[in-house]
Structure 1
């Protein structure tokens, strides 16, 4: 770290195949190149790079267009971008953070999907954005929910990412069976029909195994052309420590796909033209409502979870224009803005983590006040295991 630098930002990421052996290397290289503009230095490290009980950290830095190995003192701030592929990776990341007690977390994490649902339902305004959500506890409860829902039931893992291991099950017309479609652990789509409902539900139970799942009514969130879609809104803290909307985009999946995730083959397009094409004159109203809803949620989640730095909020919109919150991610991606050609949002999405890190250092590690004041959400602070995000 140079003497002129305000501090060292450490970005923690899990190990991946390839060279360099890190995910999101393009994003990180941008952060490294821009960091001097904010009087920061950046090092990229993996959990096993924390040495000597946190006294030294080995990792990578970007210099002259390439990644080179580096060893530094402990970072002043840790930006946790680990996407855990296994329990072992999760434990290693937790151990690394424990070994860096003086490093300020750039952001806390969110609980799993059920925890987020339980937080938001305390607020009447946020609860209006939620759909009927239940924990999967076995075939009997899934059978009960199937009987209630004309369009079937959507099942997703509490800590899943990128649409992997999601399921849509539907009672088959004319037979006492079920239809099941979804994506496996490698995000490969599948479709099975079972003439016997018990056989199908037993198959689902084996597919779920020991994992914790949510059940929700299947929402028909498709465009007129039959493509699944949702709206991703990226909310980030700025250089004053206040929440701002960085940008928004429609994520559009392929026809017949269960989800619109980019990792599942989707793409991204600008929001307003899409909404106007799908909903006519109501498109502008829906756009304004999305902006209002996205501003509501970060303070509510922050009040329960502790200081946050950014959130990716995914909203579904049905044929009648009703908006539903599908997911909140504390480790959001930002590829959508490159795909939509929104260069301003793409630039801000990369720069804001550096602006916020600088703000935290300049305020002497003081937790900034929440934008918008008190959320009015009752309840104690929640202890969490951060979820993987997309």
Structure 2
């Protein structure tokens, strides 16, 4: 059986347990189901399933409401959704990208958190940035802790989902002295530690960081009136004209006693405007507009240094006084937050805009202009039961 379409979008992603064994199966199925509206075909695949010569890939196509394993030629557009948790995964992805070098990248990636900070601190977005330093060892961390009544926040330069992060605080004499630490392990499990001396705590943190390169920021009070930490996720995406648009906003809420609001760490979500109005009164609507304005400024600034991007997940913190901080920029953002808040329009756009932008790239790339209609061919190899 042969299927045809004008363009072929390949989504490279990680593995998970289940059938099919692909990360983000819900997003991938939504995107694949909508692809015919844009005259596109979609194949989801793992880096190691790319042929060494880049001429073919084995992956999963969404057909008739279920996933089918399929062999296909190299894609026209390559959408890299891989998140690397090991050096081996990063190496496999690099090899796949090299083999598929003739495909048009859907987006470039962002550098690590420190390099993003270095780019933005010299830009008009600098007022949004919390103070950030490199972690260089116990001595520098001890100095910063001594300057900060509420402690410091330490996180990996290349981390995600709140893993391997911690909040360290010096305890006053009234509290018994020493150091208090709470954090999340590499498996995203919460933990707490107390050390009777500062030196013990600093040594433990140095062992905890290991070979990971980390950054340090002041601990910011980004907690709502109910005592739960929160941030605002803004999803910026390019549309079918290649222009940046704001797809949606949502608040991510951490649990009581948590210091992060990541959904992967057990957080929940809330609609942005009602939450901000409840927290800040009438000023909540103004803050929503300020967040939208800040989000619109950032993508062009980052593209100027990092190359062409297709979407950005921007996480903003708000302190009790309404000051806005940029906490993180992510070039491979999740989008489940809109499903959790019931924002069906943002959820639909979040899945469809990558297709609109892929179509735009196909129409404006030399390869796409040379490509005759009905060139794409899929060869069905076998089917996977279920969806």
Pairing 1:256–2:277 present? no
Pairing 1:229–2:255 present? no
Pairing 1:141–2:140 present? yes
Q: TM-score, normalised by structure 2?
A: 0.92
- Structure 1 unaligned segments of length 5 or more: list them: 368-390
How far does the alpha carbon of each residue in 1:218-246 deviate from its partner, in whole angstroms, 9 at most, with x for none? 00100011000000000000000000000
User: Aligned pairs, how many?
Assistant: 366
Deviation for aligned residue 1:65: 2.2
Match of 2:48, SS state, is: helix
How far does the alpha carbon of each residue in 1:300-329 deviate from its partner, in whole angstroms, 9 at most, with x for none? 001110000000000000011000000000
1:6 and 1:361 in contact (8 A); partners too: no
**C-alpha separation in 1, matches of 2:295 and 2:358:** 22
Match of 1:268, SS state, is: strand
Deviation for aligned residue 1:90: 0.3
Q: TM-score, normalised by structure 1?
A: 0.92
How far does the alpha carbon of each residue in 1:155-210 deviate from its partner, in whole angstroms, 9 at most, with x for none? 00011111011000000121441000000011110111101110011000000011
Match of 2:289, SS state, is: helix
User: Where does residue 359 of structure 2 map in the other structure?
Assistant: 358
User: Where does residue 107 of structure 1 map in the other structure?
Assistant: 107
Deviation for aligned residue 1:6: 1.7
Match of 1:190, SS state, is: strand
**C-alpha separation in 1, matches of 2:281 and 2:365:** 50
Deviation for aligned residue 1:365: 4.8
User: Where does residue 312 of structure 1 map in the other structure?
Assistant: 313
How far does the alpha carbon of each residue in 1:94-132 deviate from its partner, in whole angstroms, 9 at most, with x for none? 110000121010000000000110111111x20000011
Deviation for aligned residue 1:340: 0.9
**C-alpha separation in 2, matches of 1:84 and 1:344:** 30
Deviation for aligned residue 1:20: 1.4
Deviation for aligned residue 1:69: 1.1
User: Where does residue 58 of structure 2 map in the other structure?
Assistant: 58
User: Where does residue 375 of structure 2 map in the other structure?
Assistant: none
Matches within 5 A, 1:274-293: 274-293=275-294
**C-alpha separation in 2, matches of 1:46 and 1:182:** 32
Deviation for aligned residue 1:276: 1.2
User: Where does residue 209 of structure 2 map in the other structure?
Assistant: 208
User: Where does residue 267 of structure 1 map in the other structure?
Assistant: 268
The one of the two structures with greater contact order (alpha-carbon pairs below 8 A, sep at least 6) is 2
User: Where does residue 79 of structure 1 map in the other structure?
Assistant: 79
**C-alpha separation in 2, matches of 1:366 and 1:288:** 40
Match of 1:84, SS state, is: coil
Q: Which moved more, 1:48-57 or 1:294-303?
A: 48-57
**C-alpha separation in 1, matches of 2:41 and 2:129:** 41
**C-alpha separation in 2, matches of 1:22 and 1:243:** 28
1:33 and 1:62 in contact (8 A); partners too: yes
Match of 2:53, SS state, is: helix
Match of 1:331, SS state, is: coil
Deviation for aligned residue 1:283: 1.0
Q: 1:363 to 1:54 in 2, by over 3 A?
A: same
**C-alpha separation in 1, matches of 2:106 and 2:2:** 21
User: Where does residue 40 of structure 1 map in the other structure?
Assistant: 40
User: Where does residue 128 of structure 2 map in the other structure?
Assistant: 129
**C-alpha separation in 2, matches of 1:245 and 1:163:** 24
User: Where does residue 118 of structure 2 map in the other structure?
Assistant: 118
**C-alpha separation in 2, matches of 1:227 and 1:238:** 34
Deviation for aligned residue 1:16: 2.2
- Structure 2 unaligned segments of length 5 or more: list them: 369-387
Deviation for aligned residue 1:286: 0.9
How far does the alpha carbon of each residue in 1:6-53 deviate from its partner, in whole angstroms, 9 at most, with x for none? 211000012222221111011111111111110000111111111141
1:4 and 1:39 in contact (8 A); partners too: no
**C-alpha separation in 1, matches of 2:201 and 2:229:** 25
After superposition, the CA RMSD in angstroms is 1.4
